Structure formats: structure tokens, C-alpha cells
Amino acid sequence: SKKIVIKIGSNTLSNEDGTINKEFLERLCRQVALLETEGKQIVIVTSGARISGIAKIKKWYRKEDMNYKQALCAIGQVELMTSYSCAFEVHGIQVAQMLLTRDDFCDKTRTLNMRNTLFTLVDEGVIPIINENDTVSVEEIKIGDNDTLAALTTSLWNADLLILLSDIDGIYNKNPKEYQDSILIEKVINIEELIKSIEIGKLSSFGTGGIETKIEAAKIVNKYGIPMILANGKREEIISDLIEGKVKATLFK
């Protein structure tokens, strides 16, 4: 595959205390830089604005108020982009921020503008880093999770592959964090069958979507004939290993 969208979940990006996991970011950016030198094109969809905001402004931690949440995202988004920008700069790669909302995918003109920006950035060798624009998205109109945002971006860009990096090796027959005897499902051909056959457990601490939204994301991209891989971002050389088929994950095809 030439055009790859990589989505990074909050848990993958952050340490236990909510600060950004710099080692992870460095590894990710090194692997992405390598792919770029091989002629591949990469778009990143990243979560982590809210946890970065929480780590920065600790005293707001308990506020469940919507405006506080949005404020935390606004604070954290800067931290997040700064971290990506620094990690990619080492490899001589520029990044660009695109903050999107559901409306951007519904309105023709906005979709076209966004698509043009995306293509222009990639053509110029810049890596677009996408996140939901939380400061303008209220609960009712939100995409709500970056798995869906990544899937919509993948189809908009007409990518060849979507990779979701989470903190588990893939989809299991039951939550691997609750059951030691859970079994990894390496290939999913029929999504409806999968949904009927697995047990979906609760979310991890900072997760927003969980397994449901990852399955929904697969549905969206598979409809366009684009495969999706759910893999473990905590593994050292995950992206290169995936591409070389050296690591276990879940492929939706």
C-alpha cells in the first residue's frame, strides 16, 4: 500500500499519568519517516488533546463540564502538536494541523476544501495531523471518536490502508484486559458475524470509542474496498513489522 492513514489512540500516546509518551512518539515518527523515504504517503489521525490538557492543567481534572472539556482540548492540542512537530523535525519532516468536525464531511464545499488541503499537504511532503475540532463540536454534533474520524479521512483521501494503533494486539473474542484466555481474531471477513461472535468489554481509562467504534471504522473503509488493521501501538517496531507481516494483529478485509 502506498497511501496509509495511521490513527493513534489516547492510551497509546500517553503515559499512565496522562503526559505524552515521548519514546512512543519518537519511535512512531522514525517509522513514519522511513516509510516516507520508501515513497509511501502517510496521514496521521491522533487523539490525546484532552489528556494532554489534563496533564498540563491538573487542577481542572475533576470538571466534567462541557466547556471545561473543550478548554482542556484547546490547551492540550497545542502540547500535542508541539510534540509531533518536534519528533518529526528530527527527520526533516514538516507537519500540519487539521482540526475537523462532522459538518466538514457533510457539506460539499467544506469537504472539497478539506480534501484539496489534504492532497496539497501530502503532495508537498508534509504530514497532515488530524484531530476532531473539540472546541466547536458539542456532544450532539460530534463525530465523537477518532476511529470514525480516521475511517472518514481514509475514504476521503482514498487511501490504500487504515491502521488503528491501540493498546491491544487486535480484536479478541472477549476483552483481553479482563480475560487471560481470550483469543485474538487475526482476520475478519464478515463484520456482522464478528459482532455476533465476540464479547465487548469496557473501555480503557482514557479511551473514548472502544472496540465498537473500531469495528464501525472497519465497516466504513471496507465498504470502499480499503482494508483496516487494528494493532498494538505499544509494540516497538509495530508499523514496519505490520507491513512485513511479522506481527499478530487483526486485519479487516
Listed ranges 5-13, 52-60, 75-83, 151-159: which one lies at the site for ligand ADP (CB under 6 A): 5-13
Going by their DSSP bridges, the two strands 41-46 and 127-132 should be labelled as parallel
Q: How far is the CB of 108 from ligand ADP (least distance, A)?
A: 30
x/- contact string, 140-179, with ligand ADP (CB under 6 A)?
--------------------------xxx--xx-xxxx--
Q: How far is the CB of 217 from ligand ADP (least distance, A)?
A: 10
Set of cell numbers at residue 203: 473501555
By beta-carbon proximity to ligand ADP, the closer residue of 110 and 142 is 142
By beta-carbon proximity to ligand ADP, the closer residue of 9 and 18 is 9
Among 42, 98, 118, 211, binds ligand ADP (CB under 6 A): 211
Q: What is the DSSP letter of 204?
A: P
Q: Is 131 helix (H, G, I), strand (E, B) or coil?
A: strand
By beta-carbon proximity to ligand ADP, the closer residue of 123 and 139 is 139
Residue pair 60/72 in contact by the 8 Å Cβ criterion: yes
Extract the runs of DSSP E, i.e. beta strands, from 110-214: 127-132, 161-166, 171-172, 184-185, 187-188
How many chain residues touch ligand ADP (CB under 6 A)?
A: 24
Q: How many angstroms separate the CA atoms of 89 and 108, rounded?
A: 34
x/- contact string, 6-35, with ligand ADP (CB under 6 A)?
---xxxx-----------------------
Reference 30, options 91, 110, 93, 84; nearest CA is 91
Cα separations in angstroms, 173 against 9, 71, 211: 21, 38, 11
- Interface residues with ligand ADP (CB under 6 A) are 9-12, 166-168, 171-172, 174-177, 198-201, 203-204, 207-211
